[in-house]
Amino acid sequence: MRLRIPQWARRLITRGIAIVPVVAVTWIYGEKGTAELLVFSQVILSMQLPFAVIPLVRFVSDRKKMGTFVIPNYVAALAWTVASIIVVLNLKLLYDTFIG
């Protein structure tokens, strides 16, 4: 596409895209709406964490892929434990957010 946009205009556009929804929610729903939007955004972000952690642990635990850089078994066990805790806590968060 080779669009030529000055850096100041690019920054203004990207910041505007990020700020406009927050301003709209604050204007329409007030402070309570902003707090709920913040909590909802954190729920969405936490749901993405297992999709990064689990493949990472699998990758660094695989001797074929990592060779001499593979993590030790005790670190892998600890990493899988942490990944499991993250998944369980995310399931609880989903339950609390939408049902509880």
Mean pLDDT within 40-50: 88
pTM, entire model: 0.65
pLDDT at residue 50 greater than cutoff 90: yes
Domain boundaries, the chain: 7-98
pLDDT at residue 1 greater than cutoff 70: no
Low-confidence winner among 35-39, 77-81, 83-87 (lowest mean pLDDT): 35-39
Higher-pLDDT residue of 30, 87: 87
What SS3 string covers the chain? CCCCCCHHHHHHHHHHHHHHHHHHHHHHHHHHHHHHHHHHHHHHHHHHHHHHHHHHHHHHHCHHHHHHHCCCHHHHHHHHHHHHHHHHHHHHHHHHHHCC
Q: For residue 35, what pLDDT is reported?
A: 83
Q: For residue 30, what pLDDT is reported?
A: 85
